[in-house]
């Protein structure tokens, strides 16, 4: 089935940290956007420069699609917040977000599913970088106050810390490194040395490809973890566009199961 596409416009923007810009999208097309998808994602659509205006062509041939987490959705106001990492690279999404201003248009597809620990999880481990910070923030906000655990988050500079609403017994550990490769290595090592506790632990890891690769191995090694007790995903891959990352992900899954 063709994805539902909504045409929206930028209502306001806010540089929430030096490397993260919140873009608030608005418009009548959001009137039937479903509630409860915070932490899920939409696909922002950027027209390919094909020189061919064939509006009937397949979406994948006409647009570059980039995934962004639904950070907030305000149903009554028909407003959707997406937090874009400004990674300063040539990617169409980051480039668009850099200059996005009131009145700019954007088409989005989705939303895609929310990946949350189930309510019975009593101990959680989150690991991620700035691309998964919006999803981790939503997850922490939605945990019960009794949940225990740890969230390890890699940011580019100390000023990229955001206020999180984590339950009192969840520790948040920030790792600051402006070098993404070195930072991801530190993140992986901190993640791997964390001992899971509780009777129903849940592991959530998303960020650069190498985090996904390591987290998959970590989860497989833990025979105490039940099959449905983890979510591991690659959100981007250093040196690859989103399309390249997806190919690498598919190749890894094909060889690694």
Closer by beta carbon to ligand FAD, 196 or else 219: 219
- Rule CB under 6 A: is residue 43 a binding residue for ligand FAD? no
- Rule CB under 6 A: is residue 236 a binding residue for ligand FAD? yes
DSSP H or E stretch at residue 204: strand 201-208
- Rule CB under 6 A: is residue 241 a binding residue for ligand FAD? yes
- Rule CB under 6 A: is residue 37 a binding residue for ligand FAD? no
Please provide residue 212's backbone torsions phi and psi, each rounded to the nearest 5 degrees.
-60, -45
What's the closest the beta carbon of residue 206 comes to ligand FAD, in angstroms? 7
Closer by beta carbon to ligand FAD, 117 or else 134: 134
What's the closest the beta carbon of residue 75 comes to ligand FAD, in angstroms? 20
Question: Closest Cα to residue 121, out of 85, 167, 173?
Answer: 167
Whether 229 and 126 have beta carbons less than 8 Å apart is answered as no
What's the closest the beta carbon of residue 40 comes to ligand FAD, in angstroms? 8
C-alpha 67/C-alpha 135 separation (Å) is 12
DSSP 111-173: EEPP----TT--EEEEEE-TTTHHHHHHHHHTS-TT-EEEEEEEESSGGG-------TTEEEE
- Rule CB under 6 A: is residue 41 a binding residue for ligand FAD? yes
| Contact track, ligand FAD, 195-234, x by CB under 6 A | ----------------------------------------
Closer by beta carbon to ligand FAD, 122 or else 211: 211
- Rule CB under 6 A: is residue 39 a binding residue for ligand FAD? no
3-state DSSP assignment of residue 255: helix
Q: Taking CB under 6 A as the criterion, which residues in 68-127 touch ligand FAD?
A: 68-69, 83-85, 87, 89-94
What's the closest the beta carbon of residue 190 comes to ligand FAD, in angstroms? 19
Long-range contacts of 94-103 (CB under 8 A, 24+ apart): 96/44, 96/46, 97/21, 97/23, 98/21, 100/10, 100/13, 100/21, 100/23, 101/10, 101/13, 102/10, 102/11, 102/12, 102/13, 103/9, 103/10
Closer by beta carbon to ligand FAD, 33 or else 84: 84
Residue nearest to ligand FAD (CB): 91
Of the candidate residues 10, 109, 151, 180, the single one contacting ligand FAD (CB under 6 A): 180
- Rule CB under 6 A: is residue 235 a binding residue for ligand FAD? yes
Q: What angle do CA 126, 128, 132 make, to 5 degrees?
A: 105
Residue in the block written with tokens 């962004």: 68
# residues contacting ligand FAD (CB under 6 A): 26
Would you tell me which residues interact with ligand FAD (CB under 6 A)?
Answer: 41, 66-69, 83-85, 87, 89-94, 131, 134, 180, 235-242
């Amino acid at each position: 089935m063709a994805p539902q596409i909504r045409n929206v416009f930028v209502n306001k923007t806010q540089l929430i940290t030096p490397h993260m810009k919140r873009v608030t999208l608005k418009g009548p097309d959001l009137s039937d956007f479903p509630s409860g998808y915070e932490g899920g994602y939409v696909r922002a659509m950027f027209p390919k420069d094909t020189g061919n205006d064939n509006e009937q062509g397949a979406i994948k041939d006409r647009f570059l699609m980039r995934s962004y987490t639904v950070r907030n959705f305000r149903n009554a106001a028909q407003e959707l917040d997406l937090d874009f990492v400004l990674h300063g690279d040539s990617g169409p999404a980051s480039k668009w977000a850099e200059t996005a201003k009131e009145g700019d248009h954007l088409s989005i597809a989705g939303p895609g599913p929310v990946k949350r620990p189930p309510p019975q999880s009593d101990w959680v481990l989150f690991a991620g970088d700035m691309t998964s910070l919006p999803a981790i923030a939503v997850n922490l906000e939605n945990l019960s106050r009794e949940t225990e655990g740890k969230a390890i988050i890699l940011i580019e500079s100390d000023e990229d810390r955001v206020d999180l609403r984590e339950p009192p017994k969840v520790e948040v550990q920030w790792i600051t490194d402006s070098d993404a490769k070195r930072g991801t290595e530190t993140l992986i090592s901190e993640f791997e040395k964390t001992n899971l506790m509780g009777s129903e632990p849940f592991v959530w890891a998303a960020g650069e490809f190498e985090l996904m690769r390591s987290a998959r191995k970590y989860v497989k090694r833990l025979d105490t973890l039940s099959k449905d007790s983890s979510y591991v995903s690659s959100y981007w891959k250093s040196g690859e566009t989103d399309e390249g990352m997806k190919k690498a992900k598919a190749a890894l899954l094909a060889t690694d199961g």
